[in-house]
Structure 1
Amino acid sequence: MEILVGIIQNQPIDSNCFVVYNDLNSSCIIIDPGTEDCNELLLFLEKKNLVPEYIILTHEHFDHIWGVNKLLQLFDCKVVCAEKCLESIINKKKNLSIFYNQIGFEIPMTNNVLIVSDEVLNLGKYSVQFKETPGHSQGSISFWINEMLFVGDVFIKDTKTVTKLPSGSKKELSETIYALKELFSNRNVVVYPGHGEVFYFDNIDFSKVI
Structure 2
Amino acid sequence: MSISVESFFHQQSATFTYLVYCLTTKTAMLIDAPADFDAANGTLSFETADDIITHINRKQLTLEWILETHAHADHITAASYIKQHLGAYNPCKLATGKNIVQVQAHFSRLYNIDMPCDGVPFNLLFSDNDCFTLGEHTVQVLATPGHTPDSVSFFIAGNLFVGDTFFMPDSGTARCDFPGGSAEQLYQSLQRILALPNETILWMCHDYQPNGRALANKTSVKEQRISNIHLQTTEQDYIATRNNRDATLSAPKLLHPAIQMNIRAGQLPQPQQNRQRYLTIPLTVLL
Letter in 2 for 1:10: H
Q: Aligned equivalents of 2:75 and 2:65: distance in 1?
A: 15
1:87 CA drift (Å): 4.7
Partner of 2:97: 82
Give the gaps of 5 or more residues in structure 2. 37-45, 112-118, 208-216, 232-237, 239-287
Show CA shifts across 1:113-163 (max 9, x none): 111122242323130111111111111011210210110011111223211
Q: Aligned equivalents of 1:92 and 1:13: distance in 2?
A: 24
159, 165, 189: which one pairs with 2:171? 159
1:45-84 equivalences in 2 (<5 Å)? 45-63=56-74, 66-74=77-85, 75=87, 76-84=91-99
Q: What is the Cα-based RMSD across aligned positions, in Å?
A: 2.6
SS at match of 2:51: helix
Counting aligned pairs with the same residue, the percent is 25
1:148 paired to 2:159 = yes
Q: Aligned equivalents of 1:124 and 1:155: distance in 2?
A: 25
Change (3 A) 1:64 1:148: farther
Change (3 A) 1:64 1:147: farther
1:3 paired to 2:3 = yes
1:14 CA drift (Å): 1.8
Residue range with higher mean Cα deviation, 148-157 or 187-196: 187-196
Q: How many residues align?
A: 195
More strand by share: 1
Letter in 1 for 2:14: D
Letter in 1 for 2:180: S
1:189 CA drift (Å): 0.8
Q: Aligned equivalents of 1:64 and 1:4: distance in 2?
A: 25
Partner of 2:184: 171
Higher relative contact order (CA 8 A, sep 6+): 2
Letter in 1 for 2:184: K
1:116 paired to 2:132 = no
Partner of 1:105: none
8 Å contact kept, 2:66–2:92? yes
Q: Aligned equivalents of 1:9 and 1:28: distance in 2?
A: 18
1:24 CA drift (Å): 2.9
Change (3 A) 1:174 1:23: closer
Partner of 2:230: 208
Q: Aligned equivalents of 2:155 and 2:76: distance in 1?
A: 19
Letter in 1 for 2:128: D
1:60 CA drift (Å): 0.9
8 Å contact kept, 2:128–2:143? yes
1:43 CA drift (Å): 2.3
Which is greater in Rg?
A: 2
Q: Aligned equivalents of 1:174 and 1:82: distance in 2?
A: 19
SS at match of 1:119: coil
1:207 CA drift (Å): 4.1
Q: Aligned equivalents of 1:116 and 1:127: distance in 2?
A: 14
Show CA shifts across 1:68-93 (max 9, x none): 120121224111211122553x5894
8 Å contact kept, 1:136–1:173? yes
Q: Aligned equivalents of 1:83 and 1:8: distance in 2?
A: 26
1:97-136 equivalences in 2 (<5 Å)? 109-110=120-121, 113-125=123-135, 126-136=137-147
Change (3 A) 1:27 1:19: same
User: So what's the TM-score if we normalise by structure 2?
Assistant: 0.61
